[in-house]
Chains A and B, each alone.
Chain A
């Protein structure tokens, strides 16, 4: 059974007159449809003119398309066909416009002696890049610079998204806590960070990293980790023969744990005293690879950073600019995520909570099984836009020299080649692609957690 809310708007004072304007809204949510029947001036079948459009279901919509009669005389008078005609015209005009812009720009650039085209992408760049996730030589091309910039953007974005989500969820839940102090602290956090310009926060964290100890008095953690204002020097494992087996064991344990979690989860809903799933999974993931490592005699050594000459050599050096940007992005975005989480939880009606309580569910179960699944429907769309914002905000890296795409490609490559138009366009395409990809996946997820079907069904 379908339930719909139908609203009709009429001009105040006027008697309901379908020839003027009427709008029908149908709820809830995605089934919303609004249609206007504007006063018709041109010729056309009188009946169609004056009958307000009905709100159609999906199947009706389809049949409407199929049965559209193809006659030239109705090309303009038929609303459907007219809109199709206009849309086609707009697309053709847009393509033509884009083509003129591009060809004109190219000829004009040439006339002014400014290089154009994307040939520069294969020209050697000739400068150093501080952090590269793929091998880099100064004789490599600007195309490679683009790749490095993209990877560095993705690195800080992924790190930022993970941290922001964790902080945001904790803060969001804390804001609703019964513990007064905790709730107030979380509220203050959100209010303060949300109201300071992000660039300022980036500078703040970056300024702090400059105040870390100098190399010669690096902060020493157990003789293996060193912190100074040039970076955080971490040891990295160097794998030897047999490491593959340990890694394989880890992977297998993770897959096994996942499967177990899923299967045990099903029965857990029925059983009175379910297995301690978390404990067993943790044991699997840690224990199995540990046994494998023992059997292989720990097949790795540690490359520990050592002070040599001016700097630390060996190990992995994490850039202060990466740390600063990561902190700034994740703490800032976490505010908005906290708000999303809070509004999501509050959107679940109090009755759900009380019902769960009266059924005798543990509070942690109530949260996990009753509240969160429903709250997610409200939270996820907001998360999408916050993740998108975080990726875009990562471009503030230009201010502190972290080598992501804006800084290294739309900054350094741009000024070394002077090809501003091409480089800015490529950069825009990159951001657009990332944004659309994130929206795409989050929308799929969103559709999965959204309420299925319609109310009353």
Chain B
């Protein structure tokens, strides 16, 4: 998809203007109130990464990152379709959030110090624990990242990927040439034409690109992972109430899996005697109104979008083309590190 690129030169300056205009507006109004008033959530996603965010042939956005936006919309409106998706390249995403063009960013974005502290943004929880890997043609005979000395490597600009790659090759005394690509589509055409020997990004992204190649069986993702990439949901700094909503929607879908609640049994479970289940589903306590939402916010999200496990398996899991294992993203009590604070 090249839509994101076409107006690029103008877009950057427009967005810069947007930030400028937005910081001149009245000091941070309640984002949640704004969203309720306009009746639709503005969500920034990737322009086209199968499994994470990709418009279907009927124009409907589907994917793992997309579902988190739908989960938030379901919690606010009871309607997972009340979302306007804005596809953003790696370079555009933060400016779009800062300028108020989107309310939340759900776009395989890594939580780092400088993004959290220096960009006026706030991470509202990790949705996917990932790391950076390498995709290579099997017949190259490359077994580890160290074998890539002197190789030409495709990377997205404006990502943690390009910084990690530079760090890794420098610390290991290796050399590389880079080819700058814009988004998954461009990466695929460059890698497929062999204008680069390897494509590097988050392993989840590699799985998606690999699946979309004409001959996936001839390509491997190296076992070696060179970084930590906690991918998460991001909001603007300075509106903690809105940050709370996003953070607890993320926590709710994880807690739901932990408590055995899914889209199929949510009605039945609300009659459960387990107090934590009752608090989550709104049959006990007033957690919803504390968030500025309705009582059954979490119950709606789980019914309409599903719990974390369902979101994962449906979009990127073993039975999809991406075929990703839960790995680190299994629940903390099930061999992974996925964890949500208690609901009380």
Contact = CB atoms under 8 A, between A and B. Distances in A.
**Do A and B come together as binding partners?**
yes
A411 B158 contact: yes
A126 B159 CA distance: 11
Interface of B: 2, 5-6, 8-9, 12-13, 15-16, 19-20, 23-24, 27-28, 90-95, 98, 114-115, 117-120, 148-152, 157-158, 162-163, 165-167, 170, 176-182, 189-190, 193-197, 236-238
Interface in A362-383: none
Given A407-B180, A418-B118, A211 B193 contact: yes
11 contacts: A109-B120, A111-B27, A112-B98, A114-B237, A229-B193, A230-B196, A310-B148, A313-B150, A406-B12, A412-B157, A421-B20
B23 A415 contact: no
Q: What band does the interface of chain A fall in when counting residues whose beta carbon is under 8 Å from B?
A: 35 or more
A441 to B, nearest CB: 25
Contacts, number: 156
Contacts of B5: 398-399
A50 to B, nearest CB: 49
A61 B35 CA distance: 63
Contacts of B92: 415
Contacts of B195: 210, 229-230, 320
A114 B119 contact: yes
A401 B166 contact: no
Contacts of B166: 126-128, 138
Contacts of A401: 157, 179-182
A416 interface: yes
Contact of A128 (B28, B176, B193, B194): B176
A428 B13 CA distance: 9
Contact of B150 (A308, A407, A414): A308
A311 B152 contact: yes
A115 B23 contact: no
Given A313-B150, A401-B157, 8 more contacts: A112-B236, A210-B193, A309-B149, A310-B148, A407-B180, A415-B95, A417-B118, A418-B98
A418 B15 CA distance: 11
B206 to A, nearest CB: 19
A398 B90 CA distance: 13
B8 A418 contact: no
B149 A403 contact: no
Which of the listed residues B90, B179, B196 has the most CB atoms from chain A within 10 Å of its own CB? B179
A108 interface: yes
A210 B15 CA distance: 31
A112 B22 CA distance: 11
Given A230-B152, A310-B152, A399 B182 contact: yes
A229 B179 CA distance: 11
A413 to B, nearest CB: 9
